[in-house]
Chains A and B, each alone.
Chain A
């Protein structure tokens, strides 16, 4: 149960119940779709990138608490970041949830660290992040977590 409390922290539940930055972004210039075939989670990510800086980010989709909260937290944290900074953050988050759960300097995103005790849920936590990478690279195909 202690691990579960780590996983379902108040911040995660809050972002699941009231996800931030949802809906279409009409002036987005980068979008991508992500899909997790295991649980059917879907996310569409809209980014507005100007001069290498992510000015705005929104997402649409349906998913579990981890996937939804992760997408919500991500959109909050990448706004205003340069593309390369956002991608470095992805590496850190990936390392945190697949590795030892060290939180390093990821700020509020540290609430996702509890996922590292639940290997089956790593894909939920990283779906939005991989989708962001695809959007920045403007890959046309939907990304999947497989």
Chain B
């Protein structure tokens, strides 16, 4: 056991090494070392990403696609380089299938308003799941109000897994789109998205995958998944806020109407007629988040340099280490026990509201999220108003998992009857 423990902890050395890439991890909170376990909300940024943004602003700030001058050329090259990096990262067939947007939320809204609004009509159906983030629910509800389409919902079982049998039964001749999350932000469940896509495609139904929680924690290959759309945010992938990606299959993107109008998305404009630019520029109206896109490119390089094999094995080992320790706390119930999970531990503690857990943990320097995690229908499914959620990233260690568990015992002490 001793030797086994030591071998396991060897893995922490690796994470300790990665930690040095993230300046913020040296921060102290309430006089204690920061234990940052709110990675599902947003991840911290490595120095390389922070420097890439400041290097752009400090040395070659210029607008993209608009100038003949040297700085604009350099900015445009960096911006388009990032597109190529993202293409390779998710293995898209072409870099033109990578559309830069503000984040997952905007990517989903884009598909709902451009693809959905032009194709759906009254009586059509959109299939979502019970574990969706509000940003993969509300845009579809808005579309339903506009078109008269309606939502059908794949239920979740007690472990926190999608009930695929019911999904199959929901697919019918009225189904126009399936939009489900790759990984649940509230439970950590990794959904069998390849099968979900396959089943939809048998009926000719396209599938959008919400990759916000998957992109930094499982390798994503959009061609292998064969999904039609894939959405994610840079800020959950060690990149900047305010930038994200919509991947779409070229044929679909080409057939879709523009989303917003403005500069860059046009080829020529007269007051009589405007001809639109080609994909992806058709969907990138206005000056984009240039620094953010460049930072995203560097974040992708960073994750690539670590590699998913090392990253996944570290996060999985951490999850396996922390789960039983946490489950052992008297009165604690973990919500979300799927067989396939990322490093997310959502829990409730008997007699203590998650919000109070969050405050007491914060007093110990342990940052977690307490709340409904923008998944109110899912909370209702599990009969709770909120949970406390710890979520791991590549730089978290067993020592930090220990700190989490110790802090949860402290919560019990404060609230002991």
Are A and B part of the same complex? yes
Q: CB of A106 within 8 A of chain B?
A: no
Q: CB of A66 within 8 A of chain B?
A: yes
Q: Interface digits, A7-50 against B, CB 8 Å rule (1 contact, 0 not)?
A: 11000010001000000000000000000001111100000000
Pairwise interchain contact A40-B379, C-beta atoms closer than 8 A = yes
Among the listed A1, A40, A62, A66, which residue makes an inter-chain contact with B356, where contact means beta carbons less than 8 Å apart?
A: A66
Instruction: State A68–B355 Cα separation when bound (angstroms).
Output: 12
Q: CB of A132 within 8 A of chain B?
A: no
Pairwise interchain contact A39-B355, C-beta atoms closer than 8 A = yes
> Which chain A residue has the least Cβ–Cβ distance from B357?
A64
Size band of the interface chain A makes with B: 20 to 34
Residues of A within 8 A of B414 (CB): 4, 8, 13
Q: Interface digits, B349-378 against A, CB 8 Å rule (1 contact, 0 not)?
A: 001111110011001000000111000100
Pairwise interchain contact B415-A64, C-beta atoms closer than 8 A = no
Instruction: State A8–B372 Cα separation when bound (angstroms).
Output: 23
Pairwise interchain contact A4-B363, C-beta atoms closer than 8 A = yes
Shortest Cβ gap from A15 to chain B (Å): 13
Residues of B within 8 A of A39 (CB): 353-355, 370-371, 385-386
Q: CB of A82 within 8 A of chain B?
A: no
Q: CB of A124 within 8 A of chain B?
A: yes
Residues of A within 8 A of B165 (CB): none
> Which chain A residue has the least Cβ–Cβ distance from B351?
A17
Pairwise interchain contact A13-B415, C-beta atoms closer than 8 A = yes
Pairwise interchain contact A4-B360, C-beta atoms closer than 8 A = yes
Pairwise interchain contact A17-B359, C-beta atoms closer than 8 A = no
Q: Interface digits, B308-336 against A, CB 8 Å rule (1 contact, 0 not)?
A: 00000000000000000000000000000
Shortest Cβ gap from A116 to chain B (Å): 14
A4-B360, A8-B414 known; A124-B355 Cβ under 8 A: yes
Instruction: State A124–B354 Cα separation when bound (angstroms).
Output: 13
Pairwise interchain contact A118-B359, C-beta atoms closer than 8 A = yes
Q: CB of B58 within 8 A of chain A?
A: no
Pairwise interchain contact A64-B353, C-beta atoms closer than 8 A = yes
Pairwise interchain contact A40-B360, C-beta atoms closer than 8 A = no
Shortest Cβ gap from B72 to chain A (Å): 42
Instruction: State A114–B55 Cα separation when bound (angstroms).
Output: 45
> Which chain A residue has the least Cβ–Cβ distance from B360?
A4
Shortest Cβ gap from A107 to chain B (Å): 24
Instruction: State A38–B354 Cα separation when bound (angstroms).
Output: 12
Shortest Cβ gap from B154 to chain A (Å): 24
Residues of A within 8 A of B372 (CB): 40
Among the listed A3, A4, A40, A121, which residue makes an inter-chain contact with B371, where contact means beta carbons less than 8 Å apart?
A: A40
A38-B371, A39-B355, A124-B355 known; A62-B385 Cβ under 8 A: yes
Known contacts A3-B363, A7-B359, A40-B376; 19 further A-B pairs (Cβ under 8 A): A1-B363, A4-B360, A4-B363, A8-B356, A13-B415, A17-B351, A17-B417, A39-B354, A39-B371, A40-B372, A40-B379, A40-B386, A41-B355, A64-B353, A65-B356, A65-B415, A66-B356, A68-B353, A120-B359
**Top 3 nearest A-B pairs by Cβ distance?**
A64-B353, A64-B355, A40-B385
* 18 A-B residue pairs with CB within 8 Å: A3-B363, A4-B360, A4-B414, A38-B371, A39-B354, A39-B355, A39-B371, A39-B385, A39-B386, A40-B372, A41-B385, A63-B353, A64-B354, A64-B355, A65-B352, A65-B353, A65-B356, A66-B356
